[in-house]
Homo-oligomer: A and B are copies of this chain.
Amino acid sequence: MKVRRDRIARIQAAMREQGWIAIVIVTHDDYRYLFGADRAQPRAIIPFQGPAELVAFTGEEPELRAALADGEVRVFGSVGGQIHDVVGRLRELAATAPVEWAADGRFKVGLQMWFHTPAFLIDLFRQVNPGVEVVSSDPVMDPLRMIKEPAEVALLTEAQRIAGLGMDRARELLRAGVTAQEIATEAMYAMMRAGAEGTSTPIYVNFGVETCMLHGRLSPAPLERRQLVLVDLTPTVEGYCANLARSFVLGEPDARQAELIATYREIVAAVRSGMRPGVTTAQLDERAHAVCEAHGFGKYQVYGIGHGIGLRFEEPPASTIIPPHKNLQLAEGMTVTIGHTVLAIPGFGGVRFEDVYRVGASRPDILFDYPIDPVVAA
């Protein structure tokens, strides 16, 4: 456990600018980012000033106190106790905060509201803290978290390297009669043996027409010759997420399969050459669109060619989730995928090749240069 007091201090400065009394941490990714460790129920309060406070169960106390010498560890023996504790602490913070931060007598508290914050938790939080206005913590957390430190890029690269090992294993299993379950099982095993904690999404292995699905879980029927295959792997390393997707054809591609593959390779090249600071996902989508149009696939394009990636599998910009993110400008140090959206002919099949890049001053660096080698001997 390595408390990142530098990051906490920057967050507190940003909170004070916003006039928030606290950020309450409820997700693994925020917890790892600030405390350099993980717990099954990651809970902490970052007050607008003073040390961060972990909220722990009785049995966790000795270990956390040992790790967090100059912080506070609040301990409880039941969920009811925890809720009561946090409510009380927020009241204390409100009593010491500048009165001008309150609107209509209510002080603002930030919480992350992304995929790993369940809706009921926010509703419950609002119920028990009626004197508090809950706001998304994004405006404080995102500017800091979007720009990755070199050590973060190294972990993302390691995760991507491990995804490559899983993809190697998946590719070598491709033969008539193999099942998606078998490929997923062996790919997961290869990745966990190499140090992955697991995957941040289910493993997706799709055959034939099911490659049209956006992220289509495991196909039920075994692979047949001449079918398209789509494998999407998302192992994590110390919480940092990989995203590697590859399309294959078992045997010689037919004309449409070959055209889809060629088009997607062009899309990746076009987007990659346009990825630099100041550019938006909408602008990258325009580049992809020009390629799709040139191949007569314009009407099949799904917008949102890339997304941010880090301690969360999808981070800003995430335009396929939050449409306004399509206008978010890239900055140097952001890590972003290219290849998120499938190019699919409905009822036929789809392809994509997805990798992770770091946005550089003039061009993006691919984190791990895994080959695009889609034709597998049948």
Contacts and interface: CB of A to CB of B under 8 A. Distances in A.
Interface of A: 38-41, 57-63, 77-80, 83, 111, 113-124, 136, 181, 184-185, 188-189, 192-193, 195, 197-199, 202-204, 209-210, 212-218, 300-304, 319-323, 342, 344-347, 350
Contacts of A195: 181
B320 A79 contact: yes
Given A39-B213, A184-B192, A214-B41, A344 B59 contact: yes
A116 B319 CA distance: 20
B60 A214 contact: yes
Contacts of A119: 111, 113-114, 117-119, 121-122
B113 A123 contact: yes
Given A57-B214, A192-B185, A302-B57, A209 B63 contact: yes
Contacts of A350: 59
A212 B63 contact: yes
B114 A117 contact: no
B213 A59 contact: yes
A292 to B, nearest CB: 12
A50 B285 CA distance: 38
B192 A188 contact: yes
Given A189-B185, A202-B198, A216-B39, A346 B58 contact: yes
A378 B59 CA distance: 27
Nearest to A303: B78
Given A78-B303, A117-B119, A59 B214 contact: yes
Contacts of A202: 197-198
Given A118-B119, A213-B40, A59 B185 contact: no
Given A60-B212, A63-B209, 13 more contacts: A39-B213, A39-B217, A58-B346, A59-B213, A59-B300, A59-B350, A113-B120, A117-B118, A117-B119, A119-B122, A120-B136, A185-B193, A189-B192
Contacts of A40: 204, 213-217
A300 B214 contact: no
A111 B117 CA distance: 15
Contacts of A345: 59
Given A181-B195, A184-B192, A115 B118 contact: yes
Nearest to A136: B120
Contacts of A79: 304, 319-321, 323
